[in-house]
Amino acid sequence: QHGESLSAAARTELAQSIVEDARRLERVLSNLLQLTRVETGLEPATEWVPAEEVIGSALTRTEEIRRGRAVETDVPPELLLKIDPVLFEQVLINLIENATKHGAPPLAIRARRQGGVVEIEVADRGPGLPEGEPARLFDKFVRDEIAPGVGLGLAVVRAIVQAHGGTVTAENRPGGGAV
């Protein structure tokens, strides 16, 4: 209503705020949709995908959130994952966002085959996990009181990983941070 009376800088700042809030809302809605799909019995449409590809895609989609923070990757180029690439990309996006919000750089992503299982780690160098039961972090609506969000990201991670027949854990990282 009063756009003409605002300076160009104020209009730009308000527009940026609107875009950021719209993106945050889109992430919340996406998480709710993915969680609902998985909880209602969605079977992942799996295919063989290079781990480098899905991790690279998640890093591209989180560039703005990471704001240029360093990311170290250790992913064998020949490592293939039998996953639903759209759902699993959401897992990685949520883990990267969480590590960025709560941790400190550098962010480290590592993937490796351990026998018949593929293990993917997303780690940071932040303050680590709070005392208590780390598994609770994957419950719906559990979040750090000082962090933005509604506490769905890690619940979505767990639901999608379990729908793929996997498990997810969280622990403090030697030398500081979480993994």
Judge whether residue 175 has pLDDT over 80.
yes
| Between 145 and 82, the higher pLDDT residue | 82
The per-residue pLDDT of the chain, averaged, comes to: 84
CA distance 105 to 91: 20
Distance between CA 136 and CA 29 in Å, rounded? Answer: 22
Return the structure tokens found at 10. Answer: 């104020």
The pTM of the full predicted model, rounded to 2 decimals, is 0.76
Region 64-90: mean pLDDT is 91
Residue with tokens 């500081």: 176
State yes or no: pLDDT of 50 exceeds 90. yes
Residue with tokens 């998640």: 58
Measured distance CA(104)–CA(27) in Å, rounded: 22
Q: Which amino acid makes up residue 92? A: L
Q: Is the confidence at residue 2, as pLDDT, over 90?
A: no
Residue recorded with tokens 């000082």: 146
* Whole-number pLDDT of residue 152: 76
